[in-house]
Amino acid sequence: MTSQLNAHFENFQRPPARQPARHVGLSATRLALQLYARVSPEKAGRLVHHMALKPSRLPMPSRYEYLLDCADSHTQLHHGSNTIPVYSWGQGPVVLGVHGWAGAGIQYGAWVSPLVESGYRVVLFDAPAHGRAQGDSTNLFDMAEVILKVAASVGQVHGILAHSMGCIAVARAIADGLQPSYLAMLAPPVSLSAVMRGLGRQLGLSPQVLGVHLRLMEERFGRSVWEQLDLEALSPSFTQRGLIVIDDDDNSISPQESEGIYHNWENATLLRTQGLGHHRLLWSPMVMETVLRDLGQPAGIL
């Protein structure tokens, strides 16, 4: 049951290769949780809470795995007792890639050559319990802290690319002092609370079971956790130029909710796509061309 639930949380961030297996796994997870909830809603909610903080790792090797072996720089940072790998390519103003839940930095592999050729330094990292980083559990506050540490280690960050729940972590980091000049958010969820409600619907959780998970979140992080990780509430304070990319066929993040972030962000533009879903945004030529046009070439690059 634990492995089935973990697979479902992974599915929020990364679609499986075979759709039929996905439906079978999801149905089994829903049924197992419903049966468990009949015995004890409290224990079922605690299981959901436990698994919600344990991301599944991106299957390796990635199509861009080879880039890690030819990075211009590979360093390590520490977050608590965990080691965090940081990779970079090129020279120039830093563009930092921030992956989403159950993702990894190498998901931005398609961006490395275009950005380096345009005169930028690309920096990628794996958050705790993701990719090659140590750890087996994490949360968005941890991810925000790591973003700040990576930024401090590489100097001024000119631009940030963020995907899915990584967008919330970046927003938290900006609220805590990070100041990039440009920010592109791909498929941003409106808030952590919206993500939790969506998971509750997909898993068929009763209000009692979901309520246990939400209560435990507040006990762990404080009752302000929902406000602190609310992108719609944080985005009006953004001063940087930005881009929000939304795909109308995204089945993981509501395009309508993501659009609300755009309306709250004064200096943002909106790119709407079709047919890319939640993940193909990460290597879409249209998205990359739009970001590269927004960034332009650094001063001194001909």
Say which CATH number the domain at 139 has.
3.40.50.1820
Q: For residue 302, is it within any domain?
A: no
Q: For residue 266, is it within any domain?
A: yes
Mark whether 289 and 141 lie in a shared domain. Answer: yes
Mark whether 20 and 131 lie in a shared domain. Answer: no
Residue type (1 letter), 255: P
Half-sphere exposure of 71 (CA within 13 A, CB side): 19
Mark whether 147 and 256 lie in a shared domain. Answer: yes
Q: For residue 47, is it within any domain?
A: yes
Q: For residue 301, is it within any domain?
A: no
> Is the Cα torsion angle 208, 213, 219, 221 positive or negative in sign?
negative
Mark whether 141 and 184 lie in a shared domain. Answer: yes
Bridge partners of 98, per DSSP, are: 162
Q: Which parts of 16-101 are beta strand (E)?
A: 73-79, 82-89, 94-98
Mark whether 211 and 254 lie in a shared domain. Answer: no
How far, in Å, CA of 170 to CA of 190, rounded? 13
What predicted TM-score, i.e. pTM, was given to this entire model?
0.90
Mark whether 37 and 74 lie in a shared domain. Answer: no
Mark whether 103 and 241 lie in a shared domain. Answer: yes
Mark whether 99 and 39 lie in a shared domain. Answer: no
- Domain span at residue 38 reads 2-55+194-220
Instruction: Provide the number of structural domains found in the chain.
Output: 2
| C-alpha dihedral (192, 198, 200, 202), degrees to nearest 10 | -150
Mark whether 96 and 157 lie in a shared domain. Answer: yes
Mark whether 24 and 162 lie in a shared domain. Answer: no
- Coil, strand, or helix at residue 63? coil
Instruction: Give CA angle at 251 (143, 8), nearest 5°.
Output: 60
How far, in Å, CA of 77 to CA of 63, rounded? 25
Per-residue pLDDT for the chain (302 aa), expressed as one digit of tens each?
Answer: 544 444 444 444 444 344 444 455 567 776 777 777 788 999 999 999 998 999 989 887 789 999 999 999 999 999 999 999 999 999 999 999 999 999 999 999 999 999 999 999 999 999 999 999 999 999 999 999 999 999 999 999 999 999 999 999 999 999 999 999 999 999 999 999 999 999 888 888 999 999 999 999 999 999 999 999 999 999 999 999 999 999 999 999 999 989 999 999 999 999 999 999 999 999 999 999 999 999 998 865 54
